[in-house]
Structure 1
Amino acid sequence: MAVGASAGGVEALADLVRALPEDLAVPIVVVMHLPASGTSVLPAILDRASPLPALPIADGEALAPGRIYVGPPDHHVIVGRGELSLTHGPRENGYRPAVDVLFRTAALSYGPAAIGIVLSGTLDDGAAGLGVIKAHGGIAIVQSPDDATYAGMPQAAIDRVDVDHVCPVREIAALLPLLAAGDPLPAIGPALLPDPLLDVPTSEEHASGFICPDCGGALWTVDEGGVARYRCRIGHAFSEHSLLTVQGADVEAALWAALRSLEERAALLRRIAGRAEEAGNRKSAASFRAKAADADRQAEVIRAGVLPAPLDVGAAGGNVTS
């Protein structure tokens, strides 16, 4: 079983594992979006909460039933046949570890035996990978959006994948022993995937006309498990929503940089104008002050685009009296 979470995921994961039976005879592999630096305390949190032992994944870790394997920061988790491996490969949807990588490799290695579970989180990491699990005959489970602290990831999965079960976390925990009760299916994938990040089951690629925000390479449009994705030759991958989010952040950063440059230019022009006046060059001083005023006007246009509009208290809440 493969579980992915992001914002709000610690609480959801703790609730999930707390309700698991101690005789659950399947391995559970967990990844969560984490800061790249430092050591994750998530394995310790889940170990205290669950009747099953939870441990951080080591590269080459053998899969054993009745254990919870937790992915470390800044590494993708690759599900192979009977073992787990770690890679520092290209980010997907801006994340490493990415839920899509976990789900996709679980589907490639275990086919109909793979179970993917999407929990609380923002944006839509995991939706494409869950689609690959479904395409290989596996089972897709999603936390109910109204049960999640952040509904973005669950709702994206529901919108894009024909999921099998949508329910609160505690109901997911009750469902898992029933799904694990059947005869276990053998792994079907190769012992070692030739390239678990780039060897992706997709439809034909088409040039998108967009640029990868991570490396500057061309992005190609692909279909992964029925979900539209953008992938560059390096391996960086984005859903439509995650690409839009990254582009928005890049545009905002560029606007702030332009605003700073224009304000610095205006200040320098006024300083030059002052020195020109001291030297008696009034015509030059006037020209520099006019250029400074132009820079100020340009800066105001950009400032209006990046700063939120002030709240109109009167319009929002009626008349305000002192």
Structure 2
Amino acid sequence: MVFKIVVIGASLGGFAALKKILRNLPQNLKSPIAIAQHRHRESYNTLSEFLQKHTALQVREAEDKDEILPGYVYLAPADYHLLVESGYFALSTDEPISYARPSIDVLFESAADIYGEQVIGVILTGANEDGVQGLKAIKSRLGIAIVQEPTTAECSVMPKAAINAVAVDWILSPEEIAQKIVYLCN
């Protein structure tokens, strides 16, 4: 099975978890990664610059109509929802979902709609339940669901909510999540 995309959702504590995952991914990873990280609307390019220091993959903020390519980590821009279309991204300024824009649910649900069983969804640390509906959508279309082990999360609310609501495939530490992504995608 070739996975078309890995979608990752993170909120409070996400920087540390993302850093651990990204530094353990090879430059030749065959699947692109898209991340919805809750952040302040004024935090423009600081996240991509921060994460780029920790990975061999190319990190960039997604732009409307960007082609989805392997070897890249695409970040939802501050204050925009990131949606997956067939082969490219779309940006939206629709209302926040679960008080968040970018919304993890929006990213995950759009990826599930387009790529079905060829999606890996990963829920990391966070203080709300954004991502639960999106992870359900991925699982309902036979995609893979991975959740950060709550004891390794800075804030366990989001991972626990996902575990309680979705039949997840794996519950792993950030380092183990990276290993699993490499195993599944390469």
TM-score, structure 2 as length reference:
0.95
Equivalent residue for 2:9?
4
Equivalent residue for 1:135?
140
**Residue identity opposite 1:89 in structure 2:** D
SS in 1 for 2:53: helix
Residue in structure 2 matching 1:62, options 67, 71, 88: 67
- Following TM superposition, by how much is the alpha carbon of 1:51 offset from its aligned partner in structure 2, in angstroms? 1.1
1:163 aligns with 2:175: no
**Residue identity opposite 1:63 in structure 2:** I
**Residue identity opposite 1:76 in structure 2:** H
Equivalent residue for 2:131?
126
Residue in structure 1 matching 2:158, options 130, 150, 153: 153
Residue in structure 2 matching 1:89, options 94, 103, 113: 94
1:37 aligns with 2:42: yes
Aligned positions, number: 181
Distance 1:70 1:97 in 2: 10
Residue in structure 2 matching 1:14, options 9, 13, 19: 19
Equivalent residue for 2:115?
110
Relative to total residues, which structure has the larger helix share, 1 or 2? 1
**Residue identity opposite 2:77 in structure 1:** P
- Following TM superposition, by how much is the alpha carbon of 1:40 offset from its aligned partner in structure 2, in angstroms? 3.7
Equivalent residue for 1:50?
55
- Following TM superposition, by how much is the alpha carbon of 1:38 offset from its aligned partner in structure 2, in angstroms? 4.3
SS in 2 for 1:42: helix
- Cα offsets for 1:167-213 (capped at 9, x unmatched): 100001001122113xxxxxxxxxxxxxxxxxxxxxxxxxxxxxxxx
Long gaps (5+) in structure 1: 182-322
Long gaps (5+) in structure 2: 1-5
**Residue identity opposite 1:25 in structure 2:** K
Equivalent residue for 1:71?
76
**Residue identity opposite 1:19 in structure 2:** N
Taking only the aligned residue pairs, the percentage that are identical comes to: 37
- Following TM superposition, by how much is the alpha carbon of 1:112 offset from its aligned partner in structure 2, in angstroms? 0.3
- Cα offsets for 1:70-128 (capped at 9, x unmatched): 11111000001110110101111111100000000000000000110001111211011
Distance 2:117 2:43 in 1: 36
CA RMSD of aligned residues (A): 0.8
Distance 2:73 2:98 in 1: 25
Equivalent residue for 2:3?
none
**Residue identity opposite 1:176 in structure 2:** I
Distance 1:157 1:165 in 2: 11
Equivalent residue for 2:29?
24
Distance 1:117 1:164 in 2: 10
Distance 1:35 1:42 in 2: 11
Distance 2:165 2:146 in 1: 13
**Residue identity opposite 1:67 in structure 2:** Y
1:205-216 to 2 correspondence within 5 Å?
Answer: none
Distance 1:38 1:140 in 2: 29
Distance 1:94 1:106 in 2: 21
Distance 1:56 1:108 in 2: 22
- Following TM superposition, by how much is the alpha carbon of 1:66 offset from its aligned partner in structure 2, in angstroms? 1.2
Distance 1:61 1:46 in 2: 19
Equivalent residue for 2:184?
179
TM-score, structure 1 as length reference:
0.55
